[in-house]
Structures are given as structure tokens and as C-alpha cells.
Amino acid sequence: MKTIVISAPGGPEVLHLLEVEDPEIQDDEVLIKVAAAALNRADTFRRKGLHTPPPAGSSPYLGIECSGTILAVGKKVSRWKIGDQVCALLNGGGYSEKVAVPAGQVLPIPPGVSLEDAASLPEVACTVWSTVFMIGRLSPAETFLVHGGSSGIGTFAIQIAKYRGARVFVTAGNDEKLAACKNLGADVGINYKTEDFVARVKEETDGKGLLQF
């Protein structure tokens, strides 16, 4: 199969297409024929040689999420079958034609989302859900502040927090980014380069404050 490799740490010019062996699946894994892979900030850090190496035993190639069609399933996998269209959170290997992934990191394509768009869901959805809702336990009555509101993580956090009924504040580095956050549902936008966000939050919440993310 073809994959993207890094010739040496650096800019986008160090990315090269290379023919490599197909991945082999373990009993608890599925093999995905990749339709699309997303670009995360973590990928750019890894390209520059600034990211921690992937966990032992995982794909050495780039790409931490993808979507595609299941080509093969391991002996212990019952949740998925060949031909299923899925997206997946990966330890690596998304920038490849095929990737092996533990079945527990695979998700169905949500209704109304294209196969290509679904490649960008697992990282932000799992990160935001686990931190904001499982650990932070954000409730509909609460107010929530998203720093870096226009980031990949931020844009997902705004939408799901609004959907769940919270009041959402965001910070961003310019007014264009704040307008994009408002379009996604943010209630209050704060340009942290021109305003003191602590003072503004106190003002908007009658001094009560809020949950920060």
C-alpha cells in the first residue's frame, strides 16, 4: 500500500509518498480501506519532530483519525463486519491506503455526515466528550468557556455544548475567528488580545465565573 512518511523533521516538504507493506491485523482489530484522513495539530507537531512517539506496537506512520470501509476483521471482533463504513481514532497510520485499528476505537458514520467529513470527527468528539462531559460533567444550566474557540477542538466543543443546552463563551485571537465561533452558536466572544477575558467573564456572569476548557 501507499503511505505518507517523513524524510526528516521539518515543514510540509518533508512529507513523501512511499510504497510499504500492508498492515496485519491482530485478533481484536479491523483493517480499514481509508477513504479520508483528517489533519490535526498533533500531525504537524509530529512532522516537525516535536511530538511524543506513538505507543509501542502502533503504526509508525502519520495520521490519528480516518474514515473508510472495513476490509477485514480479527477473530475476536463481533461488532463490525466487512463492508461497514466507519470512522476511527488511530494511534497512527491514517495517512495510508489501509490501517489496522483496535475494534474499540472504531465508530459508525453518524447519519447525515458524509464518509469524507466523518474522518474529522473521532479526535475532537472523543476529546471533547471525555473531558467536558465525562470529567467536567457540564450540565445545561452551566456556562462554559472555550479557549481557542476557533480551533478544531474548540469548534466541536461550541457546537455540542450548545446542543446540550449550556451557555457558551469563547476566546480567540481575532474578530474574524470570533465571528466564526458565533456562527457555530457561541453566545459570548472575547478577543483575548484586546480584552481582559477574566474581567469580561465576571461582568457577563454577574461575578459567578464558569467552567473553563
Ligand X SMILES: NC(=O)c1ccc[n+]([C@@H]2O[C@H](COP(=O)([O-])OP(=O)(O)OC[C@H]3O[C@@H](n4cnc5c(N)ncnc54)[C@H](OP(=O)(O)O)[C@@H]3O)[C@@H](O)[C@H]2O)c1
Q: Taking the C-alpha atoms of 136, 140, 143 and 144 in order, what is their torsion angle to the nearest 10 degrees? A: 40
Residue of 16, 41, 48, 76 that binds ligand X (CB under 6 A): 41
What is the DSSP-derived secondary structure letter of residue 53?
Answer: P
The number of residues that bind ligand X (CB under 6 A) is 13
- Is residue 43 involved in binding ligand X (CB under 6 A)? no
**Closest CB 146 distance from ligand X, rounded Å:** 10
Of 12-20, 67-75, 143-151, 159-167, the segment contacting ligand X by CB under 6 A is: 143-151
54 in contact with ligand X (CB under 6 A): no
Cβ neighbours of residue 137 closer than 8 Å, sequence gap 6 or more: none
Provide the 3-class DSSP secondary structure of residue 43.
Answer: helix
Task: List phi, psi (to 5°) of 161.
Answer: -65, -40
State which of residues 105, 151, 159, 205 lies at the interface with ligand X (CB under 6 A): 151
Binding span for ligand X by CB under 6 A among 28-36, 70-78, 100-108, 172-180: 172-180
**CA-angle at 80, arms to 79 and 82, nearest 5°:** 155
Cell of 165: 443546552
Instruction: Between 25 and 180, name the residue whose CB sits nearer to ligand X.
Output: 180
Nearer to ligand X, 26 or 200 (CB): 200
Beta carbon nearer to ligand X, 101 or 124? 124
Contacting ligand X (CB under 6 A), which of 70, 100, 124, 210?
A: 124
> Does 123 sit near ligand X (CB under 6 A)?
yes
- Give the torsion through C-alpha atoms of 147, 149, 155, 160, to 10 deg: 60
> Is the Cβ of residue 31 or residue 90 nearer to ligand X in the bound state?
90
Report yes or no: 28 and 102 within 8 Å, Cβ to Cβ.
yes
Q: Is 189 exposed, middle or buried (0-12, 13-18, 19+ CB in 10 A)?
A: buried
Q: Which residues bind ligand X (CB under 6 A)?
A: 40-41, 123-124, 127, 148, 150-153, 172-173, 177
